[in-house]
Amino acid sequence: MSSVSTAHSVVEPSRTSKRIAASIVIIYAVITMIPLLWIVLTSFKSPPDSISYPPKIVFQPTLEGYCNLFTTRTRQTPDYIASLGEPTSTCDEITRSRNMVIAGASNYWPRFQNSLVIAFGSTFLAVSLGTFAAYGFSRFKIPLAEDLLFFILSTRMMPPIAVAIPIYLMYRQLGLSDTALGMILLYTAVNVSLAVWLLKGFIDEIPREYEEAAMIDGYTRMQAFFKVVLPQATTGIAATAIFCLIFAWNEYAFAVLLTSGAAQTAPPFIPTIIGEGGQDWPAVAAGTTIFVVPILVFTILLRKQLLRGITFGAVRK
Amino acid sequence: MTDTSSTSLGEAVARAAPAPIASRIRGLSDRSMAWLFITPAIALLLAVNIFPLIWAIYLSFTNFRANRPNAALENVGLSNYSRVLNDPNTWQAMQTTAHFVFWTILLQTLIGFSLAYLIDRKFRGHAFWTTIILVPMMLSPAVVGNFWRFLYQPQIGLFNHIVSFLTGIPPSSFEMLGSVRLSPWAIIIVDTWMWTPYVMLICLAGLRSIPDYIYEAAEVDRASLWRQFWSITLPMALPFIMLAILFRGIENFKMFDMVTLLTGGGPGSTTEVASITLKREAFESWRTGRASAFAIILFVAVFGLANIYVKALNKVKQR
Amino acid sequence: MTVQRPAPAKPKRPFFIRRGPMENIATGLIGLGFLMLFQPFLLIFYTWSLVTLLAGTIMFIIVSKFPE
Q: What is the tens place of the pLDDT at every residue in B82-125?
A: 999 999 999 999 999 999 999 999 999 999 999 999 999 888 88
One-letter amino acid for residue B193 of the chain: W
Q: Would you call A278 helix, strand, or coil by DSSP?
A: strand
Alpha-carbon torsion (A147, A150, A156, A161), positive or negative = negative
What is the spatial distance between Cα B235 and Cα B170, in angstroms, rounded to a whole number?
45
The amino acid occupying position B1 is M
Report the C-alpha gap between A149 and A130 in whole angstroms: 12
CATH class for the region spanning A109-276+293-310: mainly alpha
- Predicted confidence at residue C4, as pLDDT, reads 56
SS3 A137: helix
Residues of A in contact with B204 (CB under 8 A): 307
Distance, in angstroms, between C16 CA and closest chain B CA? 19
Domain membership flag for residue C4: no
Q: How far is A61 from chain B (nearest CA, A)?
A: 18
- The total of structural domains in chain C comes to 1
Average pLDDT per block of 10 residues along chain B, 319 residues long: 40 44 53 86 91 91 86 85 91 94 96 94 90 92 92 89 90 88 94 95 92 88 88 92 93 92 88 92 90 93 92 83
Q: Does B304 contact C40 at a Cβ distance shorter than 8 Å?
A: no
Chain B residues touching residue A21 (CB < 8 angstroms): 118-119, 121, 123
| pLDDT higher at C18 or B52 | B52
CA atoms within 13 A of residue C39's CA, in its CB half-sphere? 15
Pairing of strands A274-275, A278-279: antiparallel
ipTM: 0.89
CATH C-level class of B87-317: mainly alpha
CA-based nearest distance B153→chain C, Å = 31
CB B96 within 8 A of CB B272: yes
- Residue intervals of chain A classified under CATH 1.10.3720.10 are 109-276+293-310
User: A28 in contact with B at a CB cutoff of 8 Å?
Assistant: yes
- pLDDT for C16 equals 75
Query: DSSP state, A175?
Result: T
Find the domain containing C32 and state its range.
16-63
Q: Is residue C53 part of a domain?
A: yes
- Say which of B9, B33, B291 has its CB closest to residue A214: B9
Contact C33 B308 (CB under 8 A): no
Residue C6 belongs to a domain: no
Contact A298 B138 (CB under 8 A): yes
- Inter-chain CB proximity A210 and B6 less than 8 Å: yes
Does the CB of C61 have a partner CB in chain B at under 8 Å? yes
Most B CBs within 10 A among C32, C35, C57, hence the mutation to make, goes to C57
One-letter identity of residue B96: T
pLDDT band at A51 (very low <50, low <70, confident <90, very high): confident
If you average pLDDT over residues C28-46, what whole number do you get?
92
Q: Do B301 and C23 touch (CB under 8 A)?
A: no
Chain C CB contacts of B85 below 8 Å: 46-50
**Binary contact (B308, C46; C-beta < 8 A):** no
Min Cα distance C9 → chain B (Å) is 25
Give residue-wise pLDDT tens across range B222-263.
888 888 899 999 999 999 999 999 999 999 999 999 999 999
